[in-house]
Amino acid sequence: MAFSDLPTVSLKKPLERALRLGHPWVYREALDPTPRLASGTLVSVVRSAEALAWGYWDAASPIAVRVLGLGAPPAHTSAGARAAAEALVRARLTDALCRRLERLDRSQTNAFRWVHGEADGLPGIHVDIYDVAATVRHDGEGPQAFFEGTLGLQSLLRETGAAVGLTHTLVRRARGAAGEGDCPVRSVRENGLSFAVDLQFGQKGGLFLDQRENRARLAPLAHGKRVLNLFGYTGAFSVYAAAAGALHTDTVDIAPGAIAAAKDNFALNALPLDRAGFYAEDAFAFLEAAVARGQTWDIVITDPPSFAPSENALPAALGAYERLHRRAAQVVAPGGLLAAASCSSHVPRKAFMQTVHEGVEKGTGKRFFLEAYAGAGFDHPVRAAFPEGDYLKFALGRLSPRS
């Protein structure tokens, strides 16, 4: 008897254990030749006549199936499976939102990640909340076809997002975000601080939500200190430091628009601009000039964009991280702190930390003493069976002369 009238795809590799442990991807190379299927089609994954999992198809990605559930599909017809998938997505949206709201004081923080893809059982999408608006990012053709085409995700978001007063949803595209009407959200709160956002055209809306807890971790250490924020984007680390009583902050980003937004964020929080510098410059060039003139800071933050967009880019990325950490360490004052971050999932934690140690210790003659290591905030959880989701690395260490 057939499992259902859903298309079936057959494993040629023994991935039963990985699937049962909860890994949410099936790569095309692990499958027998498959008939042409449209992206977003619900499929059953089988091996040796056993239904192992079900999920949706992506015709354009090496990740052929993103898994929604284990075992046989929950219904024996395509229409029934679609209805079951819709109910499952609705339940997981609700559960994910409840878990965030349990830990957030929305009077202080009203911007957070609602859905973190695979870790929330909704592989292929990320949903961020900015006050009463939600932005959606799909990881390719398959997720977009399934969540928008098959399910109509935006109506599900408005339904389940009523708990936070959601009124607008925007879908992120390569050239901005599209939604219904003009989005009213112009600023958000994070730990009591205000940040301007541009949900239609700003990169990540204008605020990297995954660094929220690391900003809060670093802020009290900045009191009375000189802080350099490299690749600072719209200045969030600098705003936290200034609000905590930093003696002076300097924000560096190559994009003039980001630097203008950083100044706006200082103004939003009534922070003194005479104790802040803003530089629309290349971070490496800025560091070279600072080293040449002997300038130092008590705290130096490096939070660059991904140096490794693919696995093939890893060797070059590790070299770039080591050069960055060497130059950054050269401008850390004696006994000061280096906060080094990487947002690339292709850079393993161990390899990243090696670039920190080698960049600092081999390149400058200083010692790096790790005081804190963290990833993204709790609203960006990591699934134990899915280490690929552990992308953000944040290492905070004190530098001292080598003895």
Structure tokens at 144: 């977009």
| Mean pLDDT, residues 232-244 | 98
Which of 128-137, 305-314, 353-362 shows the lowest mean pLDDT across its residues?
305-314
Give the Cβ contact number of residue 257 at 10 Å: 16
| CATH T-level topology, domain 80-187 | Transcription Regulator spoIIAA (3.30.750)
The yes/no answer on whether domain 208-401 falls in CATH 3.40.50.1970 is: no
Count of other CB atoms within 10 angstroms of residue 323:
15
Instruction: List pLDDT tens digits, range 176-208.
Output: 555 555 687 899 999 999 999 999 877 778 899
**Across 245-259, average pLDDT:** 98
Q: Is the pLDDT of residue 335 over 60?
A: yes
For residues 157 and 174, the model is more confident at 157
Both structure tokens of 271:
């922070």
d(CA 374, CA 386): 18
Please tell me the chain's helix, strand, coil percentages from 3-state DSSP, rounded to the nearest 5: 35, 30, 35
Does 374 or 1 have the greater pLDDT score?
A: 374
Q: Is 367's pLDDT higher than 80?
A: yes
State the chain's mean pLDDT as an integer.
94
Q: Please give the structure tokens belonging to residue 8.
A: 């079936």
pLDDT in tens, 302-313: 999 999 888 888
396 pLDDT higher than 60: yes
Cβ atoms of 336 and 403 within 8 Å: the answer is no
As a whole number, mean pLDDT of residues 260-282 equals 98
- For the cut 50, the answer to whether the pLDDT of residue 2 exceeds it is no
Look up residue 306 and give its DSSP letter: P
Task: Give the start-to-end residue ranges of the domains of the chain.
Answer: 8-75, 80-187, 208-401
| Banded model confidence at residue 4, pLDDT cuts 50, 70, 90 | low
- The residue behind tokens 């070299």 is 319
CB 291 within 8 A of CB 327: yes
Mean pLDDT (whole number) for 101-122: 97
Q: Rounded to an integer, what distance in angstroms lies between the CA atom of residue 264 and that of residue 259?
A: 9
Q: Compute the residue count for the chain.
A: 403
pLDDT digits (tens, 9 = 90+) for 10-69: 999 999 999 999 999 999 999 999 889 999 999 999 999 899 999 999 999 999 999 999
Q: Angle at Cα 290 formed by Cα 319 and Cα 332, nearest 5°? A: 70
Give the Cα separation of 119 and 24 in Å (integer): 9
Q: Compute the distance between CA of residue 158 and CA of residue 166 in angstroms, rounded to an integer.
A: 6
Q: What stretch of H or E contains 337?
A: strand 332-342
DSSP secondary-structure letter at 211? G
Report the alpha-carbon distance of residue 99 to residue 384 in Å, rounded. Answer: 18
> Distance between CA 31 and CA 45 in Å, rounded?
9
The residue among 346, 354, 341 whose CA lies nearest residue 388 is 346
Q: Which pLDDT value is given to residue 1?
A: 35
The CA-based angle 52-55-94, given to 5 degrees, is 115
pLDDT for 132 beyond 80 = yes
Is the pTM value of this prediction over 0.85?
Answer: yes
What pLDDT does 58 receive? 97
With b meaning 16 or more CB within 10 Å and e meaning fewer, what string describes 161-193?
A: beebebbbbbbbeeeebebeeebebebbbbeeb
Place of tokens 């705290």: 299
For residue 197 the two structure tokens come to 């956002």
Give the Cα separation of 53 and 368 in Å (integer). Answer: 46
Domain 8-75 CATH superfamily: PUA domain (2.30.130.10)
**E-strand stretches of 100-200:** 111-116, 125-130, 133-138, 168-173, 176-179, 187-190, 193-196
Name the burial class of residue 220, with classes exposed (0-12), middle (13-18) and buried (19+) by CB atoms within 10 angstroms of its CB. exposed
